[in-house]
Amino acid sequence: MASNSNKQLFQAEPELLANSVTVLKKRYLRKKESGQMENPKDLFIRVAKNIAEAELKFDSNADVDSVADVFYAQMASLKFLPNSPTLMNAGNALQQLSACFVLPVEDSLEGIFEAVKYTALIHKSGGGTGFSFSRLRPKDDSVKTTKGVSSGPVSFMSVFDAATETIKQGGMRRGANMGILRVDHPDIMEFIYAKQDKTKLTNFNLSVGITEEFMKSVKNGTDYDLLTPRDRKKTGSKNAKEVFNEMVRLAWEGGDPGIIFLDRINNANPTPAEGEMESTNPCGEQPLLPYESCNLGSINLVQFVKNGKIDWDDLKNTCRIAVRFLDNVIEMNNYPIKQIDEMTKKNRKIGLGIMGWADMLVMLNIPYNSDKAISLAEEVMKFIRDEGRKMSVELAEQRGSFSGFDKSIYPGLGFKAMRNATITTIAPTGTISIIAGASSGIEPYFALAYYRNVMDNNKLPEVNPYFLEKAHEGKFYSESLMNKLAEAGNAHNLTEVPEDIRKVFVTSHEIEPVWHVKMQAAFQKYTDNAVSKTVNFQNSATIEDVEKAYMLAYDLGCKGITIYRDGSRSGQVLNIGSVKEEKQEETAVVTVPAKPKERPAILIGKTIEKTTGCGKMYVTINQDVDGKVFEVFTSIGKAGGCAQSQAEAIGRLISLNLRSGVEPEFIIRQLKGISCHTPHGFGSQRILSCADAVGKALEEAINNPLNVQVVRNDSITVDSLLADIDKKAGKKVMSNGACPECGAPVEYIEGCLTCQSCGYSKCS
């Protein structure tokens, strides 16, 4: 190993925020051979030295130490950081450096469980997996070898989900999966509804693989063909707009399924001779061929804004170093299975992305939701892609092109060689953005401030450093203003803050969804792979709003879209106003009458029929003279039977609660979504269980009251009631949940719940 012995190596000290050091200690630092724990500098040296060793594979006289010093300087200055597995594992026994893998799922029992085995190995090593289940024969299709019938793709997905649940990823990362089914698969509707029950497939993000034919049919309002996976022959048809509407509705309800545009992804496939891309990694930004992996890293744009301008020369230098680093990762990686090793080295895909985009915009005084920001996004990403490609060409001249290189794939560019099939990806940056002290990926700010509890229960506002700097510069800083900012989370209604500052420091829920989609499309234009981005909607957004975003994503050239409507996933209450370091339960007290109301002699009501997996159920809902729901009777099956006894018990308990003053919305919330082994129907008519049927019947009754002379207060909603209860309990109601590890706010971004305080992350 040649080296420059006269050079002082690894001189720069990492300049890390206290929060960054906390995250590194908790998730990344390892014991050294001496038994002592690493410090952050040790970590960056370990990674730099390990990745630089790849130089010897191409030049036996390479100055490895000097290359390591260059790699170290980029990480220590926080200009570039590789993905988490590289930081965790480079230079350690595991040496598995990739985050993204796609595995094929073949249409045989042997093929399915081979994929399950490989999934276990990948998750154990610290990776996440993507699958297309489109090759599997549909439900009830014949199986010749056993003379039985297939249970279909969705049933087998639960096997992968269970395997993921039991495996801790290297003790540091929890498993995450992407499940994709083509929209022309006969079981597409079952797939679309697969996560309507939120207790199922909890380790999966789901996306429907959309074709161009399907989108044309959606726009024309026509039917499209369903095709058998074996021979692609027509086996039926569906109305495209109806299927599309169900995807939109369910995404509005809870975020799943997302969509990816399969044909668009394959039109950009740089290695079509190697096969068709069927799936992506768990967060959707990395389309891959079966058995491919991708090595990711992100440039921190914060470090390239100097004196109010972008330092393009410095950015160019980092692009070049980052591409070399990521190409070296491919050589140093210890892949979990042989097929992945072979396929990855064959195509040599890398994914260079960015973080700190929201920070760069405020440093340049550009609002996120502006045409100027969209133009700058295109300019920055084009620059990174072009400089990255130039470096890949240089590496190819020294090391050779990837084996499937075809210059016709890059028309007009004149490339005679290319080291890497892809160069750029906008990936989730999760914890590495916390280490870098930067905003996450290309997402806008989630909040400008929140409260953090310190000793003796004193609360201190944690304020965005760039906003704090502007407040001092503009002389509008005050402690009371910072407290108001922490309470609100944004400056939207804070008149003490100058209007131009409020426009620049805009947060995700202040930004109209159209701008989220436009931003994603701007980056996608110059990204080889795909873009991880969450299109945020306020809770009040309609299904039609989500539909418009889906169509806009298609029209603007995105490769997929993931949306999240604030508060649409149950159990997500985010306390921005008061974030506690220790997890404590807050109790809201609801006062109800000590004795239920007496039943009057006469009540009026209606009976609603619901078809369940146990048979037809009849739910009778009566209301009192004030127009309020007073009691519920249910009937199913024969008197004395088990189903009827359970139904009668449900009715009695509901009636007791109603007569005790409990609002029906609370009861509905408890009943809807309960599932059993015999659901019935599809779409809006799908009944998950008898309890679900009662909840939906009760909801219908209160939404469509009888036409009697009563006075109803329609302004009372579940959200307003909950808000009132929480207000009395001293809580501030937000949307995404508090971190289970440190209690800080959790953001739903890039397909994952992420804590910007301690680095906790949960995908799906």
- DSSP-derived letter for residue 445 is B
Residues 6+ apart with CB under 8 A from 728: 588, 589
Pick the closest to residue 464 from 453, 472, 456 (CA basis). 472
Dihedral sign from CA coordinates of 21, 22, 28, 33: positive
Residue 214 C-alpha from the chain's centroid: 25
In angstroms, the CA 446 to CA 493 distance is: 16
Strand extents, DSSP E, 660-757: 746-749, 752-755
Decide: helix, strand or coil at residue 183: coil
> Do the Cβ atoms of 513 and 549 come closer than 8 Å?
yes
Catalytic hit among 283, 294, 319, 690: 283
> Do the Cβ atoms of 420 and 329 come closer than 8 Å?
no
Catalytic hit among 281, 300, 420, 490: 281
Catalytic hit among 53, 285, 292, 387: 285
In angstroms, the CA 688 to CA 681 distance is: 9
Known catalytic membership, residue 319: no
Known catalytic membership, residue 281: yes
Tell the burial category of 470 from Cβ atoms under 10 Å away from its Cβ (0-12, 13-18, 19+). Answer: buried
> Do the Cβ atoms of 286 and 425 come closer than 8 Å?
yes
Decide: helix, strand or coil at residue 260: strand
In angstroms, the CA 229 to CA 604 distance is: 54
In angstroms, the CA 568 to CA 396 distance is: 48
- DSSP-derived letter for residue 595 is S
In angstroms, the CA 616 to CA 229 distance is: 35
> Do the Cβ atoms of 463 and 488 come closer than 8 Å?
no
One-letter identity of residue 541: A
- DSSP-derived letter for residue 36 is P
Dihedral sign from CA coordinates of 513, 518, 523, 525: positive
Pick the closest to residue 348 from 415, 278, 262, 274 (CA basis). 274
Structure tokens at 687: 């009944």
Backbone φ, ψ for residue 207 (5° rounding): -140, 140
Known catalytic membership, residue 307: no
Structure tokens at 477: 């800083």
> Do the Cβ atoms of 738 and 579 come closer than 8 Å?
yes
Tell me the catalytic residues.
281, 283, 285
